Amino acid sequence: MRVSHEQLNTELVHQHRHVEAIMLGVENAQGALRHEAFDQLRQYLAAHEAAEQEFLHEPARGELDEHRGIVESRVQEEDDIAEMMRGLERLSPESVEFTALFKETTERIRTHMQAEEHQEMAAVARALQPDQLEAAMTALEQVAALSEDAIEDASFDDWLDRARDTFHGRRQVGTR
């Protein structure tokens, strides 16, 4: 499979639009549906960020010294977002506290996704070698399937681990 920078960019943007749709779903839902939508968000977002961390930020960091700062900022944002997701997991999705922290978190996620699209992909991802582009695409393509697994009470961190295990062939999508 030969993957171009444009194809990788298209897939990344597509996934960001999906994250946006799930976030709106959480905002607009109530009760059990809100729980469900938040589960979907942490599952999909964890798989997406795990793919980026390992197959986009990490190789890009090694390829272009002058753009290191752009990548470091994205990694830092993902750490912050993960911390906010952990905070949200400690709250009831129906609480006022959740709603306030969720608003802050979604703003952070939106800014992060825009920076990836407009700064990182534009500058850094062009430096990826053909095999690195292919590996990134393969990981991103597993995100949708990963987010269809159903495990009760799995946390954002659990989903990060499961995604990494899947990317490294330590488990198959759809298995426990």
Q: Count of residues binding Fe ion (CB under 5 A)?
A: 3
Q: Work out how close the CB of 33 gets to Fe ion at its nearest, in angstroms, rounded to a whole number.
A: 25
Q: Work out how close the CB of 115 gets to Fe ion at its nearest, in angstroms, rounded to a whole number.
A: 9
Nearer to Fe ion, 26 or 143 (CB): 143
Q: Work out how close the CB of 49 gets to Fe ion at its nearest, in angstroms, rounded to a whole number.
A: 5
Please choose, out of 89-97, 100-108, 113-121, 135-143, the segment that lies near Fe ion by the rule CB under 5 A: 113-121
Nearer to Fe ion, 99 or 138 (CB): 138
52 binds Fe ion (CB under 5 A): yes
Give which of 127, 147, 159 is closest to 56, Cα–Cα. 127
Please choose, out of 21-29, 45-53, 65-73, 96-104, the segment that lies near Fe ion by the rule CB under 5 A: 45-53
Nearer to Fe ion, 39 or 49 (CB): 49
Nearer to Fe ion, 39 or 52 (CB): 52
Q: Work out how close the CB of 143 gets to Fe ion at its nearest, in angstroms, rounded to a whole number.
A: 10
Q: Which residue is nearest to Fe ion (CB)?
A: 52
39 binds Fe ion (CB under 5 A): no
What is the three-state SS of the chain?
Answer: CCCCHHHHHHHHHHHHHHHHHHHHHHHHCCHHHHHHHHHHHHHHHHHHHHHHHHHHHHHHHHHCHHHHHHHHHHHHHHHHHHHHHHHHHCCCCCCHHHHHHHHHHHHHHHHHHHHHHHHHHHHHHHHCCHHHHHHHHHHHHCHHHHCCCCCCCCCHHHHHHHHHHHHCCCCCCCCC
120 binds Fe ion (CB under 5 A): no
Q: Work out how close the CB of 52 gets to Fe ion at its nearest, in angstroms, rounded to a whole number.
A: 4
Distance CA 46, CA 146 (A): 10
Q: How far apart are the first and last CA of the chain?
A: 29
> Which residues bind to Fe ion, rule: CB under 5 A?
49, 52, 116
